[in-house]
Amino acid sequence: MGYQRGTVVRSKAGHDKGSFYAVVKLEGDTALVADGNKRTAARPKRKKLIHLAYTSTVLNEQIMNDDSKIRQEILIFDKKVRDC
């Protein structure tokens, strides 16, 4: 698994279990994640990597600079996953 900036992940633990986020930054065994709504790129949530489920989807670097675009892409991804 290759976590990198922009990787879409799903929370496996905590009160946000099942929520999708985009990785903003990696710091050792933790990732700073944002959803563009409650957790913005300027104020990301810190999650341990063991509490995140990796997906192969990676958002474009241009999207990662705009919270509204992050939010939109996460909603599209969430809808695709839930429709399957």
Nearest to 3 by CA among 49, 41, 38: 49
Question: What's the rounded Cα separation, in Å, for the pair 45 and 36?
Answer: 11
Report helix, strand or coil for 46: strand
Identify the pLDDT of residue 1: 63
Question: Would the pTM of this model clear 0.85, i.e. be above it?
Answer: yes
User: For the purposes of burial, counting CB atoms within 10 Å of the CB of 29, is it exposed (0-12), middle (13-18) or buried (19 or more)?
Assistant: exposed
Encode pLDDT of 54-80 as tens digits.
999 999 999 999 999 999 999 999 999
Alpha carbon of residue 61 to chain centroid? 13
Identify the architecture of domain 7-83 in CATH: Roll (2.30)
Report helix, strand or coil for 43: coil
